[in-house]
Amino acid sequence: MELPFLVLAWRNLWRNKRRSLLTIFSVAFGLAAVMFGQSLLTSFQRQMVDKSTGVMVGHLQVQAREAKDRKVPLPLLEGGEAHKALLLSDPRVEAAGLRLLFTGLAYSASGSRGVLVVGVEPDIEPKLSIMPGYLRSGRYVEKARDIVMGDKLADHLDLRLGEKTVLMAQGPDGSMNSELFRLSGIYHSGSDAFDAQIVYVPLPSAQALRGRPGRVSHAVARLKDSQAAFRVAKDLSARFSDPVAALLTYEDVGSEVVGIKKFEDALWAVLMTVIFAIVGLGILNTVSMSFFERIREFGVLRALGARPAFVMKLLAAESVLMGSLGTVAGLVLGWCLISYFQASGLALPVGDALSYFMPFDDVIYMRPVWTSHARAAALAFAVSVAAAAAPGLRASRLVVHKALRHV
């Protein structure tokens, strides 16, 4: 477009300043709202993945193929050390370890409760799991008879640090085995399911209690970048040769997380469609009102020799200018909002709703997602331009003598 043409469109844009400003602000606020939502949703889902992989499932797992229904106790895996070595052979893997999971009974002089026993490698688990970071007192498992449990379970059993508790579990022949452990640490994760039910003991002690020395439930890997899980799994699968084991990503074993993510994505798609529809209708209304107020003016331009395409381009240029101003303002406003909550955090009550499944923080620190923000900005601009199509087409089809008589 030539400069004089744009100058004319710019002047026409401010004939009704209030209406033009409202339209520009609607585009800006709509885009800022979408950017805010994109950042919030992405940050929320990243925390959800970090928590779910950090407390139990890891980014990658090797487990027996028949364990996909996730019933506890899981079918046991042979060759755990070999599977762990395979996981560690990829440089994108930060840490890998072995675990044994099974149900048992913890009891003391004051009571008893069914628990999930997690046997871990004490020297590796702090690199794999975020649970050691939730320790409220004491230390993580180190010695053969150490046990770590949540504060709710410790309160139920009336146990203090250094006191003893007995774990019981069923052996492979159906008999009940029992081992004496000393409470070395108490954690508080904020999740009732964890704090009242899950205990951690050294892997050899768990294997002895279960009566299955050398066996594990799965080998778990934590990656340097969780987004690389599918690529790493694909690359490792080419060298994976165990016919009775399966190499899985966190999405394969974390059905709750996947379900929540899919629901959130679907809900956000609907909300984003509504926001952009409102933005488009706002610009359509502005351009349409401008068209009806200037029908006589367009008739004069046509009578003076202006082509129909000129009139159409003039309205389109005004829409482009409004869309551009709104998009730039929206990017700035969205960035300011995200930067503020990136520094201060956004307090949300969703942690309480998810705490049954996993530990979850009540404060979310948002981060920009520039690829998604750029797509949203392009879509906002495209909607702004497309909204001028119908009024522009009508303007190009004006009958000159009727337009000149329009009041």
How confident is the model at residue 174, as a pLDDT? 82
- pTM to 2 decimals? 0.73
How many CA atoms does the CB half-sphere of 126 hold within 13 Å? Answer: 10
How confident is the model at residue 295, as a pLDDT? 66
- Indicate the SS3 state at residue 293: helix
- CB neighbour list of residue 31: distance below 8 Å, 6 or more residues apart: 279, 326, 327, 330, 331, 333, 334, 376, 377, 380
How confident is the model at residue 402, as a pLDDT? 61
**C-alpha torsion sign, points 177, 183, 185, 189:** positive
How confident is the model at residue 167, as a pLDDT? 95
Q: How far apart are CA 36 and CA 66, in angstroms?
A: 42
Q: How far apart are CA 208 and CA 146, in angstroms?
A: 14
Q: Where are the alpha helices (DSSP H) in 14-88?
A: 17-52, 80-88
How confident is the model at residue 1, as a pLDDT? 47
The tokens describing 191, both together, are 């999740």
How confident is the model at residue 260, as a pLDDT? 67
Give Cα 59 distance to the centre of its chain.
Answer: 14
pLDDT digits (tens, 9 = 90+) for 216-257: 988 999 998 888 888 998 999 888 887 778 888 887 776 566
How confident is the model at residue 347, as a pLDDT? 79
Neighbours of 283 (CB within 10 A): 25
Residues in the chain: 407
- Indicate the SS3 state at residue 394: helix
The tokens describing 325, both together, are 């101003």
Give Cα 131 distance to the centre of its chain.
Answer: 20
Distances from the Cα of 383 to the Cαs of 30, 37, 117, 351, in angstroms?
Answer: 11, 19, 55, 36
Q: 389 and 280 in contact (C-beta within 8 Å)? A: no
How many CA atoms does the CB half-sphere of 404 hold within 13 Å? Answer: 7
pLDDT means per 10 residues in the chain (407 residues)? 67 79 86 89 80 81 70 71 91 93 91 93 90 91 93 94 93 88 92 88 94 89 88 88 82 68 76 79 74 68 70 77 89 93 81 59 83 88 78 64 56
Q: How far apart are CA 181 and CA 178, in angstroms?
A: 10
Distances from the Cα of 160 to the Cαs of 110, 131, 223, 374, in angstroms?
Answer: 12, 19, 35, 54
Q: How far apart are CA 38 and CA 265, in angstroms?
A: 10
